[in-house]
Amino acid sequence: MKCCVIGLGRFGYSVATKLAEQGADVLAVDSNESIINSIKDLVTQAVCLRVADEEALKHIGVEEVETVVVGIGENFAQSILITALLKQRLNVPNVIVRSISAIHRDILVLVGADHVILPEQEMGIRLADQISLTHSNFVRITDHFSVSYYQVPERFVNRTVRDLDFERYSISLIGKKVGEDVVAIAPDARIEADDVLIFAGPNKQLEKLEQL
């Protein structure tokens, strides 16, 4: 997977380095030479240039990249200009842009951004989830539907998935966590004491797991 991250502030720097850690081919771009020097050994390629320069972006091959993340947020006008350039002139298939406000987001969508994120707002939602959903590790999918990691209680141990019949509670057992992977569990499989089960369903139903 080839990605480009334009704008290496705290947000863009984190995205670029994490993508590289996960095995992506990452091109990092910023106009600040000291930032480029600090990240060059952590990504595939790091280039210092004027980030809104169409010819410069063509020269480094941005047109050949599958996904571009525009990490510039504070410079409202520049992020809009770069987004329009990437979509309308360079025809990048997938452009993801950081936004700092709802108005900024709406304009970015109008000029062609494929996905717009508001990091501060999304972090606030995660924090609210951690506070309000205290009993399980919830990953929210929509406002009312989540995936939950659940350490099994003793009363589940040695019982089969079929016996426990989680579907009657309007939740679905996706599988169990094994290391960093998730593996399916057959209906006749017995639950073991150290299993971490993964469920999906409405938030209210997932919260009731603690009472089962």
pLDDT tens per residue across span 124-148: 656 666 555 555 466 767 767 888 8
pLDDT tens-place string over residues 153-188 = 888 888 888 888 888 888 888 888 887 788 888 888
Backbone φ, ψ for residue 52 (5° rounding)? -105, 15
Cβ burial 150-187 (10 Å sphere, 16+ → b, else e): bebeeebeeeebeebebeebebebbebbeeeebeebee
Span 100-115, average pLDDT: 91
Q: Mind listing the domains of the chain with CATH numbers?
A: 2-120 (3.40.50.720), 127-211 (3.30.70.1450)
pLDDT tens-place string over residues 50-76 = 999 999 999 999 999 999 999 997 788
More confident residue, 163 or 122: 163
pTM: predicted TM-score of the whole model, two decimal places: 0.66
